[in-house]
Amino acid sequence: MSALDWTISVEDVLLKRRLILNGIFEAEYIDAPNARCRIVEPIQVKIVVVAARDGIAVGGYVRTVIEHPCDRCLKPVLLPINGTIEALYKPISEMPTSEEEELNSLRNVLYYDSDQIDLTDRIVEAIVVDIPMKVLCSENCKGLCPYCGVDLNEEENHRCVEKDFDPRWKKLFLVKQNLTKEG
Supply the DSSP string of 38-103, one letter for each residue: EE-S-EEEEEEEEEETTEEEEEEEEEEEEEEE-TTT--EEEEEEEEEEEEEEEEGGGS-SSHHHHH
Q: How many residues does the chain have?
A: 183
| Band of residue 102 on the pLDDT scale cut at 50, 70, 90 | low
pLDDT at 158 over 90: no
Residue 49 · residue 19 · CB < 8 Å: yes
Give the CA-trace dihedral at 146, 151, 155, 156, to 10 degrees. Answer: 60
Cβ burial, residue 97 (10 Å; 0-12/13-18/19+) = exposed
**C-alpha–C-alpha distance, residues 55 and 86, integer Å:** 13
Residue 169 · residue 148 · CB < 8 Å: no
120 closest CA partner among 6, 19, 4: 6
| Band of residue 172 on the pLDDT scale cut at 50, 70, 90 | confident
Q: What is the mean pLDDT of residues 156-183?
A: 72
Question: CA triplet 150, 153, 158: central angle to 5 degrees?
Answer: 50
**C-alpha–C-alpha distance, residues 129 and 133, integer Å:** 9
| Band of residue 105 on the pLDDT scale cut at 50, 70, 90 | low
Q: What is the mean pLDDT of residues 67-82?
A: 95
DSSP 3-state assignment of 27? coil
> Per 3-state DSSP, what percentage of the chain is helix, strand, and coil (rounded to 5)?
25, 40, 35
Q: What is the mean pLDDT of residues 130-152?
A: 90
